Each structure stands twice: as structure tokens, then as C-alpha cells.
């Protein structure tokens, strides 16, 4: 069976949705290794192909022309909240050209908004963790079997949407193949925080054990989380790949010429027992690299390990420096711990990026936002990223926002957290948050000291142009 993964061009009049993190419009492209793992699972038994219209700078007419000439039996889409309208139009295009083709959609967008894309009986939604479900589904489709016994899918049948029982979580992540990166070798990916190329991402775990009320993790783990919560009313357990399996992938990446890596785990740093061998391998291959972590995970020992492995950045989810807000959002961390983590990283000369999230609590005011900006500037870290919280369905914050009437219009609509807000608190409106977000970004990124400090970090003029384009999209949404 011929299966083609399609990343369609934006068809909703906006910038393309970023499908890896899943909650913003595209600033700079990242390889979606989540769907590439699915592709790797499938290519063992099927003829798998991959087409990214976004990175090829092609539009709707190109998509239509491709579909008219293509002969695939099945098309697959990775869907997030911000891509739902585009994906709906894409499915209609596919159906117009191929009335009998199967269409399989996975990701957090359809795990929650399951019925939105189920247009007919040959469209299948894969909910939650997709790999084992898609493998079984593709096998059934290719051999003409009924889908009735397949767990983890939703289908449209006899005029009704049917939700099959959830599939159990994958117990052994080491059993999965490495992402099929050979499908994306022709595309250029970069991370402005890292100098070297070629660049890719690596995932070593799934989910995070903490209970922040607003949190939308990566698009894979959010889909996993939404599905698991339906039956268990709690977050799923975190799953890890073994250090040996991770090292095997890193060795392979080095052999294939990759020189820069971001570990995109929701929470990369857990134990030094796990961290140390991974960092030793990264150092051996001379990768330029970075990761995401909690500030309270940074100890003297951890900072020393990261420094020894030449860590290029650590991305910390700080959200606020206000202890009352941190407590309300169940961050399970104090401002003192945040300061200490930053101090240790700076002591060991590791660049720090802070993520600040405006509006995570009704305790937020104009003054708390201004205070957070002042404190962030005073820390003199490498970068600060400001976003506005969104009440994503499937989170505790969504339930609170609906119950208290904080959502403009009454319910969630997909929103780019880098520019827009749908929240209205008694003491802070959506428009006020949007204005403060823009001013904070301008105030931080256009400071002469920030520009002079970072302009020398680029390895080439091409890298500088990519970073400048990303900054323009971040600030002005163009």
C-alpha cells in the first residue's frame, strides 16, 4: 500500500501552524519527528512517502496539482489545534481527487476535536499515542479487513461517530524505530540558538510528571495526555527510552553528518544517572545542542555535567517570578529555586532561555507582568520568550476558565499564544495582555545590548537571515 504523509500549505489565511510544539504559528521550522516515528513504523511493511508543502513554499494550487497526479492509497496528516481548518480543507481536496482513498489523521487536534475532520467513512482519526494504532490500522486497510477491533481510533459509520476503546500506552519505547529522517533530508532545519548544521531534534521521553494547570506539552505528549485523561482522570505516567537506545540514535546521527541537536523532551533533565551517559555521547560527537528543563532540576552537579558536554542552551519554563502565581498554577517551584537554577547555569557559562507566560492566573495584573519583565531583564540571560497562556481543552486551566467565565466568547477557539489572547480576567483584559506581550517582546529583543550580544553568535550570514525572519514572525506575525 502506498501511504503519503502530507504537510499541507496553510489554507486558513494565516501563517502555517507549527505542528511539533503545536500551540503557535510557524516561527522557524522544526522536524516533526513524531510523525517521522510513525513513518518509520509503517515503512517496514508499506511504500511510505512524505511531502511538506510548507517547506517547499508551495500553495493550494500546488497541493491540488499534486493530488490530481498522485496515486497513493492512503494519506496521513498530523493535526494540531491551529491546523484544524487547514486540515479540513486538505481532506476535502484529497476526497475530491481520490474518492476511495483512506485518510488517517492523528495528533492532539483530532484527539480532542475528534469529530471535526470525520467527513466520511474512509477518514479515520487516531487518538493519543499513534504508533501501534497506525501500524495495526494500515495493516487492516491494506488487506481489506474490518476496523471494528482496532483500539484508539474514531470512525464515521452508518451516520454516527464511533469512538473505539483507548489503546494502552506503549510500554517499551526502545521497541520503536528511530524517526525516518531520510524523508526530510532535502529540507533545511535550523535553531537560532545553535550555530552548527545539519540540525535535528531528538526525543528521549514522553510526558512530564508535574501538574502545572495550564501546560500544553509537545504535540505528541499532549495527544497522549488528552486520551489517557479520559479514562483515568489524571496525567499518564512518564515513559523513558533507555540511555543505551538514545546513544545508539546519537551515534547514528553523528554517522549521518548531523552536528546540532535539540532534545525536545517536555522535561529532559531528570536524574544524573541518565543524564551523564547521554552527555558523554553528545560530547564525544561534538554536537552543538540544547534542551528543555525545570529550574529546580539544575543542581551544581547537573550544571557541571552540562558544561562539560558543551551545552549550547537550557530552555527553562519560568512563567512568572511571583510566588503566589507560581503556587496557583501548581508549578511546584518557588522564585528562589528559579533564581538558583539560573545562577548555576550562568556560573557554568551555559546560555539560558527563559519562557515567560502572561496570564496564567487571575492573580496576574499589569504590575505583576511588568515586575516579571524587570526581573527577567535584570538576570541578563541569553533570551526571554514571552507568550500568553491559552485555556487549552484537556487542561485543568481550561476547566477553571470556563467555570469562571474568563474565556471571551464562552469557549476555546484555536489561538496563537505568541500574539493573541482569548482570556478576560476581572483585572486584566485580553487586549491588555496582547499589548503587554508586544511591548515586552519589543523591549527585550530590540535592546541594543541584546542585539550586540547575539549578532556574533551566528555562524554565517544565512544563519543571521533565518534568525531575523524568525524574530520578525515572532514580533509582527508576518
For residue 476, the number of C-alpha atoms closer than 13 Å in the C-beta half-sphere is 7
Residue 239 contacts residue 206 (beta carbons within 8 Å): yes
CA-CA distance, 8 to 380, in Å (whole number)? 40
Query: Any idea where the domains of the chain sit in the sequence?
Result: 2-163, 189-476
Closest listed residue to residue 224, CA positions, set 273, 292, 169, 268: 169
Residue 196 contacts residue 259 (beta carbons within 8 Å): yes
Residue 147 contacts residue 133 (beta carbons within 8 Å): no
Please give the pLDDT value at position 438: 86
For the stretch 80-114, pLDDT in tens is 999 999 999 999 999 999 999 999 999 999 999 99
CA-CA distance, 247 to 277, in Å (whole number)? 8
- The runs of H, that is alpha helices, within 117-198 are 131-143
The conformation of residue 173, written as its DSSP 8-state character, comes to: G
CA-CA distance, 308 to 193, in Å (whole number)? 18
Q: How crowded is residue 236: how many other Cβ atoms within 10 Å of its Cβ?
A: 18
pLDDT band per the 50, 70, 90 thresholds, residue 457: low
pLDDT band per the 50, 70, 90 thresholds, residue 477: low
Please give the pLDDT value at position 476: 52
Maximum distance among all Cα pairs of the chain, rounded to whole angstroms:
64
Look at residue 465 and tell me whether its pLDDT is greater than 60.
Answer: no
**CATH 3.40.50.2300 for the 2-163 domain, yes or no:** yes
Look at residue 464 and tell me whether its pLDDT is greater than 80.
Answer: no
For every residue of 448-474, DSSP letters joined together read: HHHHHHHHTT-SSHHHHHHHHHHHHHH
**How far is residue 282 CA from its own chain's centroid?**
23
Residue 326 contacts residue 357 (beta carbons within 8 Å): no
For the stretch 279-300, pLDDT in tens is 999 999 999 999 999 999 999 9
Q: What is the mean pLDDT of residues 422-435?
A: 93
Please give the pLDDT value at position 453: 60
Q: How far is CA 256 from CA 183, 200, 259, in A?
A: 14, 11, 9
Q: What fold is seen in the domain 189-476?
A: pyruvate-formate lyase- activating enzyme (3.80.30)
β partners of residue 200: 261
Is 354 buried (19+), middle (13-18) or exposed (0-12) by CB count in 10 A?
Answer: buried
**How far is residue 235 CA from its own chain's centroid?**
17
SS3 letters for 290-334? EEEECHHHCCHHHHHHHHHCCEEEEEEEEECCCHHHHHHCCCCCC
Look at residue 455 and tell me whether its pLDDT is greater than 70.
Answer: no
Please give the pLDDT value at position 20: 94
Question: Mean pLDDT across the chain, nearest whole number?
Answer: 92
For the stretch 364-377, pLDDT in tens is 999 999 999 899 98
The conformation of residue 202, written as its DSSP 8-state character, comes to: E
Residue 353 contacts residue 192 (beta carbons within 8 Å): no
Which residues have CB under 8 Å from 394's CB, separation 6+? 108, 112, 222, 225, 226, 229
pLDDT band per the 50, 70, 90 thresholds, residue 463: low
Amino acid at each position: 500500500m502506498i501511504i503519503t504523509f502530507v504537510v499541507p500549505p496553510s489554507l486558513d489565511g494565516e501563517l502555517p501552524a507549527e505542528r511539533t510544539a503545536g500551540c503557535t504559528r510557524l516561527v522557524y521550522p522544526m522536524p516533526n519527528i513524531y510523525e517521522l516515528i510513525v513513518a518509520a513504523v509503517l515503512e517496514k511493511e508499506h511504500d511510505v512517502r512524505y511531502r511538506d508543502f510548507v517547506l517547499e513554499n508551495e500553495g493550494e494550487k500546488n497541493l491540488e496539482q499534486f493530488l490530481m497526479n498522485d496515486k497513493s492509497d492512503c494519506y496521513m496528516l498530523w493535526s494540531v489545534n491551529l491546523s484544524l481548518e487547514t486540515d479540513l480543507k486538505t481532506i476535502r481536496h484529497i476526497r475530491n481527487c481520490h474518492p476511495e482513498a483512506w485518510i488517517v489523521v492523528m495528533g492532539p487536534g483530532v484527539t480532542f476535536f475528534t469529530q471535526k475532520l470525520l467527513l466520511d467513512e474512509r477518514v479515520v482519526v487516531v487518538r493519543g499515542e499513534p504508533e501501534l494504532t497506525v501500524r495495526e490500522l494500515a495493516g487492516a486497510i491494506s488487506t481489506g479487513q474490518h476496523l471494528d477491533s482496532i483500539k484508539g481510533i474514531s470512525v464515521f459509520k452508518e451516520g454516527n461517530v464511533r469512538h473505539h476503546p483507548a489503546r494502552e500506552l506503549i510500554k517499551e519505547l526502545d521497541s520503536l524505530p528511530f524517526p525516518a529522517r531520510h524523508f526530510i533530508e532535502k529540507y533545511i532545519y535550523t535553531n537560532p540558538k545553535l550555530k552548527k548544521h545539519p540540525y535535528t531534534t531528538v526525543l528521549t521521553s514522553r510526558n512530564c510528571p508535574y501538574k502545572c494547570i495550564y501546560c500544553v506539552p509537545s504535540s505528541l505528549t499532549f495527544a497522549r495526555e488528552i486520551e489517557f485523561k479520559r479514562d483515568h482522570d489524571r496525567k499518564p505516567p512518564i515513559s523513558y527510552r533507555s540511555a543505551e537506545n538514545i546513544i545508539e540514535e546519537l551515534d547514528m546521527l553523528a554517522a549521518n553528518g548531523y552536528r546540532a541537536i535539540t532534545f525536545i523532551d517536555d522535561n529532559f533533565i531528570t536524574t544524573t544517572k541518565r543524564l551523564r551517559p547521554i552527555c558523554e555521547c553528545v560530547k564525544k560527537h561534538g554536537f552543538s545542542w540544547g534542551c528543555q528543563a525545570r529550574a529546580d532540576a539544575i543542581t551544581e552537579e547537573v550544571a557541571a555535567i552540562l558544561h562539560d558536554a558543551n551545552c549550547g542552551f537550557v530552555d527553562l519554563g519560568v512563567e512568572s517570578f511571583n510566588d503566589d502565581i507560581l503556587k496557583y498554577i501548581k508549578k511546584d517551584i518557588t522564585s528562589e529555586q528559579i533564581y538558583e537554577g539560573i545562577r548555576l547555569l550562568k556560573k557554568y557559562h551555559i546560555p539560558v532561555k527563559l519562557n515567560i507566560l502572561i496570564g496564567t492566573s487571575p492573580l496576574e495584573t499589569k504590575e505583576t507582568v511588568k515586575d516579571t519583565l524587570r526581573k527577567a531583564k535584570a538576570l541578563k540571560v541569553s533570551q526571554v520568550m514571552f507568550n500568553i497562556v491559552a485555556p487549552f481543552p484537556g487542561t485543568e486551566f481550561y476547566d477553571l476558565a470556563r467555570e469562571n467565565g474568563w474565556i471571551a466568547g464562552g469557549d476555546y477557539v484555536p489561538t496563537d499564544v505568541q500574539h493573541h489572547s482569548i482570556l478576560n480576567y476581572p483585572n486584566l483584559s485580553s487586549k491588555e495582555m496582547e499589548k503587554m506581550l508586544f511591548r515586552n517582546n519589543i523591549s527585550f529583543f530590540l535592546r541594543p545590548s541584546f542585539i550586540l550580544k547575539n549578532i556574533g553568535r551566528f555562524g554565517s550570514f544565512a544563519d543571521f537571515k533565518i534568525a531575523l525572519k524568525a524574530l520578525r514572525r515572532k514580533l509582527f506575525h508576518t
